């Protein structure tokens, strides 16, 4: 299905997880194990990135297809003490797990970098034949070693072109998501700030992507929730009506945080810098702070009437799950139980 409905929400808060293609085969298998466990918590969708410069094209396609068609063993925990089933004595503890098979709604990222239209169509045809109906249409960053995005011969210059192409060629088959930038796209930011003119031009361009057929916006990461809320308001003011999903990146380690925020030119509020500075060499403490901060950011976003959250997991499960658990969106017992969970060996069927 297309994810628009789920992300649009029906009063229910929904969440989703982003992953990236690992470098090794072993990494891919580990990722699928992790996805198994994370998907058991019922995200509205999962997405997989397209490597910079098209570097992971084949792998992203493979992972997308496998993800969409993976049958996840969904551990359903039944509290025997509160059920009629008298199997307690036969089981190691009061919980049993039933296998319920669920499928994962998958969204594949697709960028224009180094992609002539034939390659774009090959990617879209491949996922279509595997039943995937969701694409995150992006321009992409310049390939390694280049400063500026260069349109490849026979390819597209920007995400708007790609959205137009997908709608023209594939009609309504795909749900299309596009990227939004609460602090303006990094190209628009000079000396840490985008001028009002640059910010507004970015917004107008975002509206063109939506008018061309995008159904959903996922934002770039941010750490100042007020900036995100202002962005949503500004989008609404210029007539963007589709859901705008905040991209939340839990802080997992200090160096990674500095690298990502530096690359994206993200503003870091003083209170975050001050909190991190004394603990920056203590990974555990940084991760715990990241979970606390992510939870507080999400609480504020939810309190402002936005009921969808998108977690940049960086292929790690603990922080993302801890945040949604803190928000009460999944049960603690399931997290505790499912973290060490592998493809079931200790599953009891009734």
Q: Point out the residues that are catalytic.
A: 18
Residues 6+ apart with CB under 8 A from 244: 180, 217, 219, 231, 232, 235, 306
**Quick one: which segment of 118-126, 127-135, 183-191, 251-259 binds ligand FAD (CB under 6 A)?**
183-191
Kindly compute the dihedral angle of the four CA atoms of residues 32, 35, 37, 40, in this order, to the nearest 10 degrees. -130
Judged by CB under 6 A, the residue of 3, 38, 80, 179 near ligand FAD is: 179
**Quick one: which segment of 28-36, 91-99, 137-145, 325-333 binds ligand FAD (CB under 6 A)?**
137-145
**Quick one: which segment of 62-70, 201-209, 295-303, 326-334 binds ligand FAD (CB under 6 A)?**
201-209
* Continuous segment of H or E residues that includes residue 138: strand 134-138
Work out whether the CA dihedral 317, 323, 325, 330 comes out positive or negative.
negative
Q: Considering the rule CB under 6 A, would residue 215 count as an interface residue with ligand FAD?
A: no
CA pair distance 316, 183, nearest whole angstrom: 26
Of 261, 324, 249, 251, the C-alpha closest to 285 is 251
Q: How far separated are the first and last CA of the chain, in Å rounded?
A: 31
Q: Considering the rule CB under 6 A, would residue 214 count as an interface residue with ligand FAD?
A: no
Please compute, for residue 279, the number of CA atoms within 13 A of its CA located in the half-sphere on the CB side: 16
Judged by CB under 6 A, the residue of 2, 109, 165, 287 near ligand FAD is: 109
Contact letters for ligand FAD, residues 309-348 (x by CB under 6 A): ----------------------------------------
Q: Considering the rule CB under 6 A, would residue 218 count as an interface residue with ligand FAD?
A: yes
Judged by CB under 6 A, the residue of 14, 159, 248, 297 near ligand FAD is: 159
State both tokens at 39.
Answer: 């998907």
**Quick one: which segment of 27-35, 70-78, 155-163, 168-176 binds ligand FAD (CB under 6 A)?**
155-163
**Quick one: which segment of 3-11, 185-193, 253-261, 291-299 binds ligand FAD (CB under 6 A)?**
185-193
> Minimum distance from CB of 106 to ligand FAD (Å)?
13
Residue with smaller CB distance to ligand FAD, 86 or 191? 191
> Minimum distance from CB of 148 to ligand FAD (Å)?
10
> Minimum distance from CB of 180 to ligand FAD (Å)?
7
State both tokens at 349.
Answer: 């069927």
Q: Considering the rule CB under 6 A, would residue 104 count as an interface residue with ligand FAD?
A: no
Residue with smaller CB distance to ligand FAD, 96 or 160? 160
CB-based burial of residue 305 (10 Å sphere; 0-12 exposed, 13-18 middle, 19+ buried)? exposed
> Minimum distance from CB of 145 to ligand FAD (Å)?
15
Q: Considering the rule CB under 6 A, would residue 234 count as an interface residue with ligand FAD?
A: no
Work out whether the CA dihedral 161, 140, 249, 220 comes out positive or negative.
negative
CA pair distance 81, 98, nearest whole angstrom: 16
4 to 63, contacts with ligand FAD by CB under 6 A?
Answer: 49-50, 52
Q: Considering the rule CB under 6 A, would residue 185 count as an interface residue with ligand FAD?
A: yes
List alpha helices for the chain, DSSP H.
Answer: 4-8, 25-39, 57-69, 117-129, 159-170, 196-211, 225-237, 254-264, 270-276, 283-303, 318-326, 332-338
Q: Are 51 and 30 in contact (CB under 8 A)?
A: no
- Applying CB under 6 A, the residues found at the interface with ligand FAD are 49-50, 52, 109, 111, 136, 138-141, 158-160, 179, 181, 185, 187-188, 201-202, 205, 218, 220, 247
């Amino acid at each position: 299905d297309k994810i628009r409905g789920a992300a649009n929400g029906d009063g229910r808060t929904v969440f989703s997880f982003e992953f990236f293609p690992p470098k090794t085969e072993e990494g891919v298998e580990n990722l699928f194990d992790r996805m198994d466990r994370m998907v058991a918590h019922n995200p509205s969708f999962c997405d997989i990135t397209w490597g910079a410069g098209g570097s992971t094209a084949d792998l992203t396609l493979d992972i997308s297809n496998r993800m969409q068609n993976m049958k996840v063993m969904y551990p359903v925990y039944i509290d025997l003490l509160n059920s009629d089933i008298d199997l307690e004595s036969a089981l190691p503890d009061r919980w049993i797990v039933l296998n319920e098979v669920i499928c994962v709604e998958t969204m594949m990222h697709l960028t224009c970098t180094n992609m002539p239209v034939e390659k774009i169509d090959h990617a879209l045809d491949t996922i279509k034949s595997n039943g995937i109906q969701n694409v995150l249409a992006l321009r992409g960053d310049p390939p390694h070693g280049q400063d500026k995005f260069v349109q490849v011969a026979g390819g597209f210059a920007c995400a708007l072109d790609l959205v137009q192409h997908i709608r023209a060629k594939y009609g309504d088959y795909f749900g299309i998501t596009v990227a939004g930038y609460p602090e303006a796209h990094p190209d628009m930011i000079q000396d840490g700030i985008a001028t009002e003119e640059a910010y507004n031009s970015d917004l107008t361009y975002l509206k063109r992507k939506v008018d061309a057929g995008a159904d959903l916006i996922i934002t770039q990461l941010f750490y100042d929730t007020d900036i995100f809320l202002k962005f949503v308001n500004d989008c609404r003011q210029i007539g963007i009506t589709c859901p705008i999903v905040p991209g939340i990146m839990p802080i997992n380690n200090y160096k990674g945080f500095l690298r990502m925020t530096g690359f994206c030119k993200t503003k870091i509020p003083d209170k975050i810098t001050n909190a991190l500075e004394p603990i920056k060499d203590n990974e555990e403490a940084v991760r715990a702070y990241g979970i606390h901060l992510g939870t507080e950011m999400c609480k504020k976003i939810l309190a402002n009437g936005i009921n969808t959250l998108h977690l940049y997991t960086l292929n790690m499960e603990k922080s993302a799950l801890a945040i949604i658990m803190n928000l009460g969106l999944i049960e603690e017992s399931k997290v505790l139980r499912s973290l060490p969970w592998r493809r079931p060996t200790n599953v009891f069927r009734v």
